[in-house]
Amino acid sequence: MSKQILISDPTLRDGNHAVRHQITKESFAAYCAAADRAGVPIVEVGHGNGLGASSMLVGECLLTDETILRTARENLPRSKMAIHAIPGFCTIQRHLTMAVELGVDVIRVASHCTEADITQRHIDFARKNGKEVYGVLMMSHMASPEMLADEARKMEAYGAEALVIMDSAGAYLPADVSRRIGTLVDALGIPVGFHAHNNLGMGIANSVAAVEAGATIIDGSARGFGAGAGNAQLEVLVAVFKQMGYETGIDLYKMLDAADLAEKQMIQSMPYISSTSIVSGMSGVFSGFIKQVNSIGAEHGVDPRDIFFELGRRNAVAGQESLILEVALGLKAVKALAGAACA
Amino acid sequence: MPEAIERSLRQDCHASLDILPGLSARLSGHRIAVIGGTGFIGSWLAETVTALNDDLGCKVRIDLLSRHAAAWLAAHPHLDREDVAVQSVDARSPFELARDTTLVLFAAGYADPRMHASNPHQVFETTVHGLGHALAVASRLELLQRFVNISSGLVLGDVPGDQAMSETRIGALDFTRFHNVYAEARRAGESLVAAYSGQYRIPASTARAFTFIGPYQALDAPWALNNFMRDALSGNDIRIHGDGTTRRGYLYGSDAAAWLLKLLLDGKDGEVYNLGGAEPASHSDVAAHVAALTTPTPRLVHMSKPGLAGRNHDFFPDLQHTHSDLGVRAAVPVLSAIERSMQWHARRLGVTRRLREDVASR
């Protein structure tokens, strides 16, 4: 029997990062319907940082969580609807309860890669309500394979039914992925998944490395629509897995149609590996910072690449967007001092 | 607690006691202290002691020492009686026992893997320091006849193969990883018992617990069978992880209590006894049974394809030594244990409508 890969599609969640969380209701409806027709097993929707994250700090979403979930549900008759839930942004009472009432199927409870402890109550709530629940470790390059396994074991103990690691900064090379996924597969009794970012052009290669190391869940976005340089391109993943003899259950032609629709309907600029994306990957800083780093850098006359390397030096993680301005102002001051000294 | 539930628990206690003739008479007059006494084991021991006293005229007293004394009493008012004394104690600090205590059972600790993951420090402190305090106080008891430490089958570590786990076949355990703190703490506990037994000649034995099932277990405890029951009673599909072939040996609560009472009376010094179910049952089989007891019958959903999970996680005891030394047998087979557990949870949660009509009315 050929190996089955479960595809989870975050186009309508991670892609929201790429358009400052401005995906329209019509786009949610159209892409959900197209992905459903293609047989995409899981479609993840919401603000880029997940349920409850719409805010001044990380970006205000065009639509409310409720509108997104209702729209997606109406257009996903077969595919499972998933949400990204980061405790802190996403509360149980206000957000998860609503998501359950609106028919969410898969709750992906996420934390920074060394903070799995914060996910226990959310995972517990999802299980009690009969929902599938995945544990997600973000910025996973910041932890060793052994530490990731320790954190993943916590999520498994809390009741997570699968464990996904995110290469949030697009920092991995295939060998990094193989070591981490291999360690997790050995350590856990639940399926392991991988979520790539393409900062170093490794999105597809890293996803393949993950599968070869034992991952059975792979995230991919149409046209790679996602934060920074984007995610692993979903229609390419489907084609590559087909070539490799893996089953995804997705109709290739209909997936290509869905990707065409995504490009036409909501992708204002195609994800590409910009200079800052490369630096984001090299410095290991969350890809979602790119738009803010670029704009703050331009505003204060600081090279965004310098900002990224300094953020990387400070181990900045998602949710610390306020640090971008601090770093930019610091670099600006240093530059001014250096200028004054030379004068 | 509704009368029907109390009646059902009482019947179970007698079924388990009936298998051990003479036990009730020999227990008469004993005073038993259970440290960590308001959990699954302590609650079943309290039920059993009240059955012995009410129906067989025994004069047994039981002291339950626990951090959750008040909450437990409030939840189980039918056990608020003279022969069941509940005392608020945190085993991590030194405590005292009644001077006329004759039998001591250390049942404190955390079996819940969520606690092992979140607070391994407290797990270690309770398991090892708590046991140290219990042994210290027990060593001062003039009338002590036996001390039993409840350990865990997890101390056996990674044992290859898919066979029953005997007391002596001990595998490796990586003590440098925090997820093994619980098992390693239980190993340290067994060493501590050996130290007291060897150095101070305390009559002490160890019971290695495997998997229990029954009333008084939290439905949200993260164990497969509990999850199946919770899914079924909440009207959801039953989700099975892995390929469903993983096996556990379940021991019902009243049997566990009766076995421990027998061990308190007849255990041998320094001996270790496995405590668990003799009939290993696969996750698929118990899930199917849970589904069959429920209406409408929930779907069984396999969360990963057969063969992908691939690894053997069997965990069930070899009971040869326990059976031959203590002469114990299970009165409640696993399928009946599941049915009784479903009835108990459904009644407490007010969802008996989810049980098949003939099951709900039994």
Q: Are residues A60 and A115 in the same domain?
A: yes
Is position A12 within any domain? yes
Is position A270 within any domain? no
Q: Are residues A318 and A215 in the same domain?
A: no
A189–B305 CB contact, under 8 Å = no
A159–B236 CB contact, under 8 Å = no
Instruction: Tell me whether residue A84 is one of the annotated catalytic residues.
Output: no
A86-A91-A96 Cα angle (round to 5):
90
Is position B293 within any domain? no
**CB nearest to B242's CB, from A117, A159, A189:** A189
Of the residues A265, A300, A322, the one at which a domain ends: A265
Let me know: does B221 contact B112? Beta carbons within 8 Å: yes
**Into how many domains does chain B fold?**
1
Instruction: Name every chain A residue with its beta carbon within 8 A of the beta carbon of B222.
Output: 157-159
Of the residues A245, A265, A285, the one at which a domain ends: A265
Q: And the tokens for B205?
A: 């034995």
Is position B301 within any domain? no
Is position B325 within any domain? yes
Q: And the tokens for A298?
A: 């331009």
A154 touches chain B (CB under 8 A): yes
Q: Are residues A230 and A306 in the same domain?
A: no
Is position A1 within any domain? no
Which residue range(s) make up the domain with B178? 3-215+251-279+314-333
Is position B52 within any domain? yes
Instruction: Name every chain B residue with its beta carbon within 8 A of the beta carbon of A132.
Output: 239, 303
Of the residues A202, A237, A265, the one at which a domain ends: A265
Q: Are residues A243 and A304 in the same domain?
A: no
Rounded Cα distance, B291 and B95, in Å? 46
B312 touches chain A (CB under 8 A): no
3-state secondary structure of B106: strand
How close A342 comes to chain B (CA, Å)?
54
Q: Are residues A118 and A196 in the same domain?
A: yes
Q: Are residues A97 and A171 in the same domain?
A: yes
ipTM field: 0.82
Catalytic-role residue among A17, A21, A95, A112? A17
Could you tell me which residues are beta bridge partners of residue A247? Answer: A4
Picking from B281, B283, B259, the residue whose alpha carbon sits closest to that of residue B209 is B259
Look up the CATH number of the domain holding residue A199. 3.20.20.70
Instruction: Name every chain A residue with its beta carbon within 8 A of the beta carbon of B311.
Output: 189
A128–B235 CB contact, under 8 Å = no
Positive or negative, the CA dihedral A186, A189, A191, A197 is negative
**Into how many domains does chain A fold?**
2
Is position A84 within any domain? yes
Write out the H or E segment, with its range, that includes residue B146.
strand B146-152
Residue-level pLDDT, tens digit, chain B, 362 residues: 677 888 889 999 999 999 999 999 999 999 999 999 999 999 999 999 999 999 999 999 999 999 999 999 999 999 999 999 999 999 999 999 999 999 999 999 999 999 999 999 999 999 999 999 999 999 999 999 999 999 999 999 987 767 899 999 888 888 888 889 999 999 999 999 999 999 999 999 999 999 999 999 998 888 999 999 999 999 999 999 888 988 999 999 999 999 999 999 999 999 999 999 998 999 999 999 999 999 999 999 987 644 444 456 789 999 999 999 999 999 999 999 999 999 999 998 999 999 999 988 87
How close A80 comes to chain B (CA, Å)?
14
Is position A40 within any domain? yes
A121 touches chain B (CB under 8 A): no
Q: Are residues A27 and A166 in the same domain?
A: yes
A120–B227 CB contact, under 8 Å = no
* Phi, psi for B120 (deg, rounded to 5): -60, -25
B interface test, pick of A5, A153, A163, A248 with most B CB neighbours within 10 Å: A153
Is position B296 within any domain? no
How close B211 comes to chain A (CA, Å)?
16
Which residue range(s) make up the domain with A67? 6-265
Q: And the tokens for B122?
A: 């407290």
Look up the CATH number of the domain holding residue A306. 1.10.8.60
B307–A1 CB contact, under 8 Å = yes
Is position B139 within any domain? yes
B241–A157 CB contact, under 8 Å = no
**CB nearest to A120's CB, from B114, B227, B241:** B114
Is position B24 within any domain? yes
Q: Are residues A232 and A299 in the same domain?
A: no
Rounded Cα distance, A193 and A197, in Å? 14
B337-B166-B321 Cα angle (round to 5):
80
Look up the CATH number of the domain holding residue B206. 3.40.50.720
Is position B224 within any domain? no
Let me know: does B315 contact B153? Beta carbons within 8 Å: yes
A127–B235 CB contact, under 8 Å = no
